[in-house]
Amino acid sequence: MSRVTAGERLQRLLAIIPWVAAHDGPSIDEICERFEVKHNELVADLTLASMVGVYPFTPDELIEVIIDDGRVWVHYALSFDRPLRLTPEQALVLVAAGSGLLTVPGVDPDGPLARGLAKLARTLDVDADETIDIDLGLAPAAVLEQLQEASRLRLQVEIDYYSYGRDERTVRVVDPLRVSAQQGQWYLQAWDHLRGGERLFRVDRVRAVRRLESAFDRPAPSDGLASFVAEPDDSRVELELAPAARWVVDQYPVEAVEQLPGGRLRVTLAVGAQPWLERLLLRLGPDGLVIATSDDLASDVAAAAARRILARYEG
Amino acid sequence: MASSDRLERLFNLTATLLATNRPLSAAEIRERVPGYPDDKATFRRAFERDKEALREMGVPLILEPIAGRQPAEEGYRIPPDQYELRDPGLDPDEIEALNFAASVVQLEGVSGLGAVWKLRSIASPATASDADGAAGHDRSADDRPGESDEVEAWDVGALPTNPHLVPFFVAVAERRPAVFAYNGQTRTVDPYRLDFVRGQWYLSGFDHLRHEERSYRLDRIAGTVELGPGASFDRPSTSIPGARLQPWELGSGEPQIARVLVDGDQAHLARQAVGNDAVIDERVDGSIVVELAVTNVGGLRSFVLGFLEHAEILEPPELRREMQRWLEAIVDRAKPRPRALRTSRSTRKRTAT
């Protein structure tokens, strides 16, 4: 049985009828394709529509549906000649999708999407530029396009990548498996020949791409690869946070949170790379106190980093 | 009951309420619409469910007094002028572009299918004008931009949603003030815009409590959102895109102009973050100087520290000194050495200080 509810079937039917009525006998195949409906479901729903009428059921008030030789004609005297208005959810879906896609580097800012969105927004009384803004992520257009193309053609690329966590720049060869926008960022999911494993790269941190002529053959990438997954043997740090630093808990995966008096928190964080911890502690300043660190981290990480930066100011 | 029977009843109900020129009472509906049970209580339950289904689809079902009834009685109808999708005048290629967008950029848990059906339902103007040979449209509707390989290239994860998103979208469109709790206070806000930035939804608008434009993270809004009457305020034509504010711009008062030097290795990241217009100098070694209007010193500090030793504040001297003092305090505080923490949490030793 179909999983479509009666309400959804009616919604689909109310969309199909005006369109069929405005055309001279479109083919069943064409209707099925346009409205993404199966052949037998369409015929069943149209047959049902032909039985609809209004009290006191005089013939001129019925919807007439003719199905003949694989084509469909609809004639009617009811007010079903216009599509049903959009619900607020549906309006939001269209406006958000349109303005989101428009921010993708490489999408024509004056093309059919921009024109259609502007027209639709006007009828909905929203200004697509001023009332909604969807940012799928920062990314240099040229880099994004090169990566998408290489991924589609399944060709290896050499990328000049800045690893933010490690604070280092490296050039490496990767097999670009998938380019995607997630949670406001563009990511490249790739097999990394430098580290010998699948990795997630932020496209905005790719400085340059060089396409190689070598093709790669790998299965589809695994789903749900996170940008940082804590390993059991990663370094750990235990911090005491002032109330003003509670954002740390929202922003990073903390492994343990203990509420302390006065709105203070004690948290344990996994540390993927030392520069990441340096930045966090430097930003927190007096709001973040290191209580303990695992053996492999220098206990005065923040002070050492602060001294390196101060050298610039004193020089 | 079977889906087809219910579909037929819903369709009959819609047709009846669209065709009537006066509101129909529940009793009249039971009489005129085929498919309802005879038992009064069972009818009531079925009718309630049907009303809910129609409203979910976007059918404007209104309840109003029936004229001339003694005693007063209320009835239902669907005003045809409110039922219809106002024709946005979309060309076929524009309809397909919007459908394509809806297939690529999705909202978590919100079905875009109904929206796509409704847009596809719009009879394309090209069809009407084809007959008299006046068609000026290219037939680009036929080359669908939504075929499989392209969708693969546009791999965009569903945008997260939030229970307040649709109410705020309605509030922005209809210019209705919104009342909600934020940071433990009740705010009344004229909602101007919605932004999705860095993976989060924000609402910006005029806050009547603070008497200024503010932005709010939707996931931090607790409880319910109440909307006031429509057309209650005018949207300023240049509303400040609140969520687009950079960390050093969060704050009020006269901005200080700061200059920050960023080394060549990280110059492209700084450029992306601040925009090309803020870059006032490019040096031969690849480093750049960016100029920022600062109303929030902490925000500037966080931005600059993000580059570790690859950046420094050049000017003004006060902000440069402030950064030095901040860093010196970190060096000073590190004097008493913290205890060691083992990697494996189960064997971590705690000692009282």
Instruction: Report d(CA B225, CA B206) in Å as an integer.
Output: 16
Alpha helices per DSSP H over A50-110: 88-102
What part of B 296-335 touches A (C-beta under 8 Å)? 301-302, 305-306, 308-310, 312, 320, 323-324, 326-331, 333-334
Gap between the Cα atoms of B330 and A277, Å rounded: 14
Residues 185-214 of B with CB under 8 A from A: 192-200
Give A84's contacts in chain B (Cβ within 8 Å): 57-59, 83-85, 118, 121
- Percent of residues, chain A, with pLDDT higher than 90: 21
Structure tokens at B290: 């960016």
Min Cα separation B135/chain A (Å): 16
- The predicted-structure confidence for A102-127, as pLDDT tens digits, reads as follows 888 778 888 889 999 988 888 887 76
Chain position carrying tokens 């009685």: B73
What is the nearest CA distance from A172 to chain B, expressed in angstroms? 16
Alpha carbon B317 to chain centroid distance?
A: 41
CA B169 to chain CA mean position, Å? 7
Determine the Cα–Cα distance for residues B331 and B297; give it in Å rounded to an integer: 20
> What is the spatial distance between Cα A38 and Cα A295, in angstroms, rounded to a whole number?
63
Nearest CA in chain A to B349: A292
pLDDT per residue as tens digits for the range A145-154 = 899 889 888 9
Phi then psi for B74, rounded to 5 degrees? -110, 155
Two tokens, residue A66: 């003719």
Closest Cα in chain A to B82: A85
pLDDT in the model for residue B143? 40
Beta-carbon contacts of residue B27 (< 8 Å; ≥ 6 apart): none
Q: Note whether A93 contacts B: Cβ–Cβ < 8 A.
A: yes
Q: Are B79 and B60 in contact (CB under 8 A)?
A: yes
In A, minimum Cα distance to B55 occurs at A87
Tokens of B96: 């397909």
Angle A133-A135-A138 (CA atoms, 0-180°, nearest 5)? 145
**pLDDT higher than 80, residue A91:** yes
Q: Could you tell me the two tokens for B20?
A: 């009537």
Q: What is the DSSP letter of A284?
A: H
The verdict on B269 touching A (C-beta cutoff 8 Å) is yes
Number of residues that this document lists for chain A: 315
| Model confidence pLDDT, tens digit, residues B218-266 | 888 888 899 999 888 887 765 555 446 677 887 767 889 999 999 998 8
Cβ-Cβ contacts under 8 Å, A291 against chain B: 338-339, 341
- Cβ of A281 under 8 Å from any chain B Cβ? yes
Contact A138/B at CB under 8 A: yes
Work out the pLDDT band at A175, boundaries 50, 70, 90: very high
Backbone angles phi, psi at A97, to 5 degrees: -65, -45
- The mean pLDDT of B75-95, rounded to a whole number, is 87
Cβ-nearest to B118 among A84, A300, A308:
A84
**pLDDT above 60 for A2:** no
B339/B353 Cα distance (integer angstroms): 9
Q: Strands A168-182 and B155-156, how do they pair?
A: parallel
B16 in contact with A at a CB cutoff of 8 Å? Answer: yes
Q: Which two tokens stand for residue B333?
A: 């505080």
What is the average per-residue pLDDT within B69-91?
Answer: 88
CB-facing half-sphere around the CA of B103: CA atoms within 13 A? 20
Nearest 10 degrees: Cα torsion B143, B147, B153, B158: 110
Instruction: Provide the mean pLDDT of chain B.
Output: 81
The verdict on a CB contact (< 8 Å) between A235 and B343 is yes
> How many other CB atoms sit within 10 Å of the CB of residue A276?
18
Q: Are B345 and B288 in contact (CB under 8 A)?
A: no
Mutation target for B interface from A99, A309, A313, A314: give the one with most B CBs within 10 A. Answer: A309
Q: Once rounded to an integer, what is the mean pLDDT over residues B197-216?
A: 85
Question: What stretch of H or E contains B71?
Answer: none
**Measured between alpha carbons, how far is B113 from B119 in angstroms, rounded to an integer?**
10
Angle at which helix A274-284 crosses helix B317-333, to 10 degrees, equals 110
Residues 69-108 of B with CB under 8 A from A: 80, 82-91, 93-98, 100-102, 104-107
Q: Is the dihedral of CA B306, B308, B310, B315 positive or negative?
A: positive
Q: In which element (H, E) is residue A29 found?
A: helix A28-35
Nearest to B114 among A11, A205, A235 (CB): A11
CA–CA min distance A61, chain B (Å)? 9
**Does residue A138 contact residue A145 with C-beta atoms inside 8 Å?**
no
HSE-up (13 A, CA, CB side) for residue A86:
29
Write out the two tokens for B219. 């996931």
Model pLDDT, residue B151? 42
What's the rounded Cα separation, in Å, for the pair A71 and A200? 50
| ipTM computed for the complex | 0.72
Whether A259 and chain B come into contact, CB under 8 Å, resolves to no
Question: Which residues in chain B are contacts of A263 at CB distance < 8 A?
Answer: none
Model pLDDT for residues B177-192, shown as the tens digit of each residue: 999 998 778 999 999 8
Name the residue of chain A whose CA is nearest to B174's CA: A125
Q: Do A302 and A282 contact (CB within 8 A), yes or no?
A: yes
Closest CA to B297 of B320, B274, B281, B277: B320
Contact B188, B209 (CB under 8 A): yes
